[in-house]
Amino acid sequence: MSAKKVLVFAGSARKGSVTKKFASVAADATKAAGATVTLIDLADFPALVYDGDIETSEGLPKSMQNLKALIAGHDGLLIVTPEYNGCAPPLLVNMFAWTSRPENDEISCAAYANKPVAIAAASPGGLGGVRVIPRLRDALAELGAVAVPGFATLPGAFQAFNDDGTLKDEKAAGMLKGLAERLAAAL
């Protein structure tokens, strides 16, 4: 039997984002846990802010159709998010709005239905983005996804990486390794 497929992405489109760096480390940890991994950059999937009038007149943007197909074509997700004032970033909220919309005979949120999702966060602050975790977990539950137990956070994210892109902090690396293993077991 082939390895289960996990889609990994960061909730940031900014170049040089520490969240993207953490997502890359998360992708490696997920591969080490036995999954086949696809690491994407949400900057490659641009979309206007969700607007029902646009959806009615034009349908889903091609970029969101492509992203939705990627989500549906994977067995699980690993999302690494920044924290915006304790909330999920607008990029993720908008992406969820578009990719949860039904097309043709599909039910709403079909791409997310019963899909295991692991959540990690990175922040320059001392809490590492921990405040966004329950909010993102709730949003994913509303989409029909199933959050795997636990999470990983990366405090002090601007100073958290070695020159080779690995994590300096063994505790953070261990949290991420455990999260990736729980996700792989849930697939």
% of residues, the chain, pLDDT over 90: 91
Which residues make beta-bridge pairs with 6? 37, 76
Its domain, for residue 167, covers 5-186
How do residues 92-131 score in pLDDT, each as one tens digit? 999 999 999 998 888 889 999 999 999 999 999 988 899 9
The residue type found at 29 is A
Give the model confidence (pLDDT) of 45-82 as tens digits: 999 999 999 999 999 999 999 999 999 999 999 999 99
Total structural domains in the chain? 1
pLDDT at 2 over 80: no
* pLDDT reading at 85 higher than 70: yes
Q: What is the pLDDT of residue 3?
A: 82
Indicate which CATH number applies to the domain containing 38.
3.40.50.360
pLDDT, tens digit (0-9, with 9 covering 90-100), for 3-47: 899 999 999 999 999 999 999 999 999 999 999 999 999 999 999
In this prediction, residues 139-160 reach a mean pLDDT of 96
